[in-house]
Amino acid sequence: MDEAAALTAPATVDEFRDRLTGQLDDLPKRLRQCAEYIAAHTDRIAVSTVAELAAGADVPPSALMRFCQIMGFSGFSEMQRLFREAYAPGWPDYSTRLKNLKEGGAGSPSALLAEFVEAGRLSLEALTSSVDEAALNAAVALLAQADTVHVVGLRRAFPVAIYLAYVFEKMSVPCMLHDGVGKLDHRFALRPGDAVLAITFAPYSEETIQLAQDAQARGLPVVALTDRLTSPLARSSNAILTVPEVDFGAFRSLSATIAMAISLAVAVGAARG
């Protein structure tokens, strides 16, 4: 009676999402409303009633029931069971432990740690929503074609530059780190066919911007890793990657920046084979 696809209910949340996106296009009006609301509020399924979800999607409860059946479940309860069981996430302990750490009192080492952990975590989560996949792919392509990758990043960006150089080395990608040691200026090491990976955050480092401009002027591709699209690097780069780092106090956690950097480096290494 039913369509072939609907015979078996999704057994995991991932399967559920796949089926949802797969069916989204050929669905009548009300059912599509359901699908869209559910897609945007998947997390609430476990803790809501049919009536609540239906109200949220602005459809009558019966429409939502039909939606559940379209998705392959016998009804709402069966669908909800999937999400109630899948709902195990780190929530409980994690925030409790964080709270315990903070109890040492403001300024205590463990309270500080809790703050930095939280800043790092927020940064990472924000990164998943702000990442520009097209720019990331472009950046990988540019660097994968380069003869030598020149990495530049100073001050607070220097740890990231160092780590990038380390990863590139491990992946056998020819890489030169412009570290400013001895105030030596290696700009003439830039050769045709090379590419530059420039990293800087506000307050932007003059030397980094300079090198990026130089490279750009000589026709070399530049990839920028920075904090916003309005960064001074924007004008002189062919691909711009931004990371929304959450600061605590005067210091940034670097978690998101490093995650982005290492992904970039590994992808480049892989693309070169």
Task: Identify which of residues 42 and 148 has a Cβ nearer to DNA in the complex.
Answer: 42
**Of the candidates 4, 181, 184, 217, which one interacts with its own copies according to CB under 8 A?**
181
CA distance 121 to 56: 30
Q: What part of residues 8-27 is at the interface with its own copies (CB under 8 A)?
A: 14, 17
Kindly write out the interface string for residues 66-105 of this chain, putting x where it contacts DNA by CB under 7 A and - elsewhere. Answer: x-xx----xxxxx-x-------------------------
Token pair in block for residue 232: 């001074």
Sheet holding 239-242, edge to edge: 175-178, 149-153, 195-200, 222-226, 239-242
Q: Does the footprint of DNA cover residue 60 (CB under 7 A)?
A: yes
Closest approach of DNA to the CB of residue 41, in Å: 15
CA distance 109 to 222: 40
Which part of the chain contacts its own copies (CB under 8 A), choosing from 54-62, 164-172, 212-220, 227-235?
164-172
Q: Does the footprint of its own copies cover residue 99 (CB under 8 A)?
A: yes
Which part of the chain contacts its own copies (CB under 8 A), choosing from 197-205, 206-214, 219-227, 261-269?
261-269
**Of the candidates 173, 197, 222, 264, which one interacts with its own copies according to CB under 8 A?**
264
Give buried/exposed letters for 1-29 (b at 16+ CB in 10 A, else e). eeeeeeeebbeebeebeebbeebeeebee
Question: Using alpha carbons only, what angle is made at residue 134 by residues 129 and 138, rounded to the nearest 5 degrees?
Answer: 135
φ, ψ for residue 151, nearest 5 deg: -105, 130
Q: Does the footprint of its own copies cover residue 91 (CB under 8 A)?
A: yes
